[in-house]
A and B are shown apart, each in its own frame.
Chain A
């Protein structure tokens, strides 16, 4: 682990601890707001500029550092377009556009137009000050920076109660840039979301292990029951396997590793939701209890920035057509492949 990475992780964890009350996620959900103290502290500490190069006024950290930040966001179930802003600024910078000062969100759109007529399912689309639209072109990717206020938003909610809005009737002039590596923006956003999911998975796992040691039934802690032990041991496998592949992808965000991480996370997220709720019994189902702040986010994030099936197909496509003895070299050299 690099010193940078530890520094970012510690800074973000401190900010999260200092600014979020234990029920911040619930308050945010019920009042439809984003915790302002958290956002102010993240902006003040330049966290959203972590992935922007120094010459564009950023911090110049690498994606592994960004993943450590996103992982801490997910662990804390911090509300708001936090990963979106982190990723949006990184993508803007890659397209040679200045980062935004406030909150931003991201939309990956199809079609030719730099700014499509409608953007569906945009996280915090009606709230973010900037909406970054990424479209694929024959020569790479086109990145359009639009003002959130130039869109008409119809509000929706995801399973975690966070905003998912539909944006239409854009009435502004975008700042447009291009990126030669057309799939790089999606890989960046997807990897950061993956790290955020991993954080939520780790919190849920950790809390479930603790809870199993606290909760007593039949005169002993439920952690003493083999049925509970076997479930949590299975979950430990998901957590460790996911952490390994997400960290590998963060240090080398090649298509193969990002696709593998997102695909593996799909299964890990499903098992995390099932097992942690099973261990918590009825308690976890209560809106006030912090577990479902994580598990509902896992439900919401599962297919963001490239769905799980999309990533699985993309991963398999790297191998189809190989002869029987070329498959293993392709698998084993994946970790060394250039991003």
Chain B
């Protein structure tokens, strides 16, 4: 496209991707029929180890990874299609989501041969859950100001510090911690490293941070003189910032950035039935047009990534727009429930439950994984404003 240097391509879904879509839909139908996938009553990635194992049994975790590490060597577009099908159905993928999306790819790109051989097949089998130790009490958007330190000691590293908002730390096996390992004059980004730590190591204390949505997903993770052997270092010492930047890019433009409140629309449409007031149709049509345009954009970015391009600004735009759409969905659905009087009609018991959870969950959409203000800063830079 012509405006500034933003790029867009008409996405071309391959026959393989569409074939996989049908396989996933068949899997979902089976899961629903057997009662293992009831209609969602909550927003957010559910955590269900058995579901993760069933997905792993299909070969769908680590789908794009080399076969030697338990992967299937399928394309990123196929993975994209699989994920949008799973997320739109609110399949509880929380037990493998982070490992599949971030930790695995980081190990694949920067890890040692031993690390790859040890971790990746276990992730692909659905046996290992990872969490990410980035945010700290004093370091949120300004991640480079982190205070967690890893000191070199004989045979390994000694880690001290505190991480927070660590999703699933209490259910995970490993945490990849971002810590300062050295100080480089004049650079805040140099001297930061990624270290992989078994959460059962002595000195690691995990305590819950309950969310306003009534969930215990977040945790505070305290590291007190935690010894990590040398083989826990991921990639090069001091290169953590670059590694994390690549990692964060993976998580910006995927379907999880615009499908979080999708079930709310699906449930609403189910409850509304065929006879709906014009004003409601107009609101619903507007919402759906945003959904369709976001999907088109998100697919376009996935398509460009598949071709080896780096649409970083475009990916940030997907996350900015997608997360705002997720919040807008909650607002619009709430208004329609009120204007159609669905609750007093007794038709909306599950929908109302889902709405209440969504209302309390929604503030997180535009914060997690990088606030929208930070994203817009990245976009502003990308279009040449700074």
| Residues of chain A at the chain B interface (Cβ within 8 Å) | 75, 202-203, 205-206, 209, 212-213, 223-224, 226, 228-230, 232-234, 236-237, 239-245, 247-248, 251, 256-257, 259-264, 266-267, 309, 311-317, 319-325, 327-329, 331-332, 334-336
Contacts and interface: CB of A to CB of B under 8 A. Distances in A.
Contacts, number: 193
Interface stretch (B101-109, B120-128, B228-236, B290-298): B290-298
B4 A320 contact: no
13 contacts: A202-B2, A232-B385, A233-B380, A240-B314, A248-B296, A312-B281, A313-B282, A316-B280, A316-B284, A320-B272, A320-B274, A328-B88, A335-B11
B328 to A, nearest CB: 10
Given A244-B8, A312-B285, A315-B288, A325 B266 contact: yes
Contacts of B32: 325
Contacts of A75: 2
A85 to B, nearest CB: 23
Contact of A236 (B39, B291, B292, B379): B379
B314 A260 contact: no
Contact of A233 (B282, B285, B314, B383): B383
Nearest to A322: B269
A240 B380 contact: no
Nearest to B375: A233
B307 to A, nearest CB: 14
Given A202-B1, A230-B373, A316-B282, A324 B270 contact: yes
Given A324-B269, A331-B291, A236 B296 contact: no
A314 B285 contact: yes
Contacts of A316: 276, 280-282, 284-285, 288
A104 to B, nearest CB: 28
B380 A229 contact: yes
B293 A213 contact: no
Contacts of A233: 320, 375-377, 379-380, 383, 385
Given A313-B285, A317-B281, A247 B6 contact: no
Contacts of A212: 385
A75 B1 CA distance: 12
Interface string B352-385: 0000000000000000000001011101101111
A323 B280 CA distance: 17
Contact of B4 (A206, A223, A245, A248): A206
A206 B266 contact: no
B265 interface: yes
B278 A313 contact: yes
Contact of A259 (B3, B89, B285, B384): B285
